Chain A
Amino acid sequence: MKRINTAGALQLLGPVALIALTGLMGSFVSHARALEFIEALVSVAIVVALYVFVGNSGVLSFGQIGFFIVGAYAAGEMTVPADAKNGVLPNVFSVIQDHTIGNEWSLVLAAGIGGAYALVVGIPLMRLSGLAAAIATFAVLEITHNIVRNWEQIGPGPLTLSTVPETTDLWQATLGAIAVVWVAFAYQRSPLGRKLRAAREDPFAAQAAGIDIHRQRLWAFILSGAMAGFAGGLYVHYLGTLNVEDVYLELTFLTLAMLVVGGIGSLSGAVVGALVVSGLDSFLGDAENGEVSWLHAPDGTRLVAVAAFMAVVLVFLPRGLTGGIGPAIPRALRRVGRSGSAPWRTAPRRPE
């Protein structure tokens, strides 16, 4: 008999309700303002993709934005209309040149390529833990950026990819974000997700219980890579143009910050962090442009205020805004929460 778990259902319904509410609010505002809601929903998809790996495994990864870049370029390049392709992508391989696919298939392709890339990268890298894993995945991001920026057979190189159909409307962004949340929820409730979280809590006990940590991390990494690729597909179809410098360090740090501010250990944390930070970001951006009647903010307010907000949240709520509503925040994290240890450094060390 399947036990109906209210707390478990809330973990899914809470984030889904938030996303649906965001989508609904977006449908009542002007078209220009609705774009900000779409962007917030796309960032939910990125942050949840990050959460699936970082939150469940406790290993920090900068690599997901690399999979995001690959997914965004794949989806964008394959949907550029056939008659515009020669102008936008003059040097690419003929397989990209000769084929054009529809919007839905481009999202599937983005997820597939993101997942496949994560598999290739993950097989060696998932053996690493701690700081070494963080730096190695950061190296993956740097290499991805460097190659996409310079190899003109796979994309526009340093130029801007343009004439991508802007098909990510409010409806698609809402559905996409809900789909990503649902996948993340299904994963963390599955045996795979539970094994990985067991390995996060205590690697040695998990190994003794027969869990292959490398394999479990690899599963999460692939899933997270596929979701990041999918988010990239949504993103490129939202913007319509894409330059490789727009999806680099700033986006990497901002999305990671969203995850930490929301609460790294829970799905609701990922969603709340993404919505709150991008909401504040959009609002202050509007205020800078003089679009908010009661607040006139000078240029640069946005960056300073968002950063200050995140710092204040982390000083007063070290576990993030949600403080661990959702799948149990590990006890180990609770105890060391204030002492400055990041969750990925809490793995017990053998005596030296």
Chain B
Amino acid sequence: MEIAVAVGALASLLLLLNRTSLGLHMRAAAADFRTARLLGVRANAVISFAVLLSGVLAATVAVILSTDRIFVTPDFALQDTILVLVGVVVGGIDRLWSATLGGFAIGFAHGALSGFLPSTGEWPFTSGVYLDSAVFALVILVLLVRPGGLFVARGQRAVERV
């Protein structure tokens, strides 16, 4: 069920971004806000729509998550949101595919490392309590090597290192 919803949402998002003029306007506003406005894109309206769209998607996720977790609190899923945001940037925030893969990658790294680290042990990095440190150290490493995003082909973005 969850997978079906995820695939459905991703597919409709892809269709919207790549097959409609609204999607084209959204990508134009993201690439260069001012030029897009000069060319007649109602960029402010487009951005408002993008916020609305991301709100709808987030609500969809929240419904799925709340069937999975019994306790719903005001800071529900805050940690997950932060982790996914980091993952999206690590993957490459400019494109839907690289961002999605980045979200998957950090979730995968989190899971794999939590299986790998023993539950007890001494510093450094031999105990499960340092899982977050391990994941975020990996994040720093990836950002240093590929600042534009892990799944973005080299040369597609301006170099972000000085």
Do A and B come from the same complex?
A: yes
Chain A residues packing against B (C-beta within 8 Å): 124-132, 135-136, 138-140, 142-143, 145-147, 149-151, 153, 203, 207, 213-214, 217, 249, 339-341, 349-350, 352
Which of B20-28, B59-67, B108-116, B152-160 is found at the contact surface with chain A?
B152-160
Q: Is the CB of B133 within 8 A of A128?
A: no
A263 CB to nearest B CB, Å: 22
Contacts of B90 in A (CB 8 A): 135
Contacts of A124 in B (CB 8 A): 140, 144
A-B contact pairs, 8 of them (CB 8 A): A125-B144, A127-B162, A136-B139, A146-B130, A146-B136, A147-B133, A150-B129, A150-B130
Contacts of B137 in A (CB 8 A): 139, 143
List 18 additional contacts besides A124-B144, A136-B139, A339-B34; criterion CB under 8 Å.
A124-B140, A128-B144, A128-B147, A128-B160, A129-B160, A132-B89, A132-B148, A135-B139, A139-B143, A142-B133, A145-B132, A146-B130, A150-B127, A150-B130, A151-B123, A153-B123, A249-B82, A350-B159
Contacts of B104 in A (CB 8 A): none
Q: Which 10 A-B pairs have the closest CB atoms?
A: A139-B136, A213-B162, A132-B147, A350-B158, A146-B132, A150-B129, A349-B158, A146-B133, A142-B136, A127-B161
Instruction: Report if A340-B33 is in contact (Cβ < 8 Å); known contacts: A125-B140, A128-B144, A139-B139.
Output: yes
Count of chain A to chain B residue pairs whose CB atoms are closer than 8 Å in the complex: 84
- CA–CA, A249 and B156, complex, Å: 33
Contacts of A349 in B (CB 8 A): 158
Q: Is the CB of A352 within 8 A of B86?
A: no
Q: Is the CB of A132 within 8 A of B162?
A: no
Contacts of B133 in A (CB 8 A): 142-143, 146-147
- CA–CA, A129 and B157, complex, Å: 13
- CA–CA, A217 and B157, complex, Å: 22
- CA–CA, A128 and B133, complex, Å: 20
B43: nearest chain-A partner, CB-CB:
A339
- CA–CA, A151 and B34, complex, Å: 49
Q: Is the CB of A129 within 8 A of B162?
A: yes
- CA–CA, A151 and B125, complex, Å: 11
A280 CB to nearest B CB, Å: 21
B90: nearest chain-A partner, CB-CB:
A135
Count of interface residues, chain B, beta-carbon cutoff 8 Å: 30
Contacts of B143 in A (CB 8 A): 128, 132, 135-136, 139
B78: nearest chain-A partner, CB-CB:
A249
- CA–CA, A138 and B137, complex, Å: 11
Candidate in A125, A143, A249 with the most chain B CB atoms within 10 angstroms: A143
Contacts of A341 in B (CB 8 A): 33
A218 CB to nearest B CB, Å: 10
A258 CB to nearest B CB, Å: 21
Q: Is the CB of B158 within 8 A of A142?
A: no
B27 CB to nearest A CB, Å: 13
- CA–CA, A207 and B90, complex, Å: 27
B105 interface contact, C-beta 8 A: no
B17 interface contact, C-beta 8 A: no
Instruction: Report if A135-B161 is in contact (Cβ < 8 Å); known contacts: A128-B147, A151-B123, A340-B47.
Output: no
- CA–CA, A136 and B90, complex, Å: 9
Q: Is the CB of B132 within 8 A of A131?
A: no
Q: Mark B86-123, 1 if CB is under 8 A from A, else 0.
A: 10011001000000000000000000000000000001
- CA–CA, A128 and B160, complex, Å: 6
A135: nearest chain-B partner, CB-CB:
B89
- CA–CA, A143 and B123, complex, Å: 13
Q: Is the CB of B161 within 8 A of A128?
A: yes
B130 CB to nearest A CB, Å: 6
- CA–CA, A142 and B139, complex, Å: 11
Contacts of B136 in A (CB 8 A): 139-140, 142-143, 146
A336 CB to nearest B CB, Å: 8
Q: Is the CB of B33 within 8 A of A135?
A: no
Contacts of B82 in A (CB 8 A): 249
- CA–CA, A260 and B124, complex, Å: 37
Q: Is the CB of B33 within 8 A of A203?
A: no
Contacts of A139 in B (CB 8 A): 86, 136-137, 139-140, 143
Contacts of A350 in B (CB 8 A): 158-159
B137: nearest chain-A partner, CB-CB:
A143
Contacts of B162 in A (CB 8 A): 126-127, 129, 203, 207, 213-214, 217
- CA–CA, A288 and B29, complex, Å: 44
Contacts of B161 in A (CB 8 A): 127-129
Contacts of B139 in A (CB 8 A): 135-136, 139
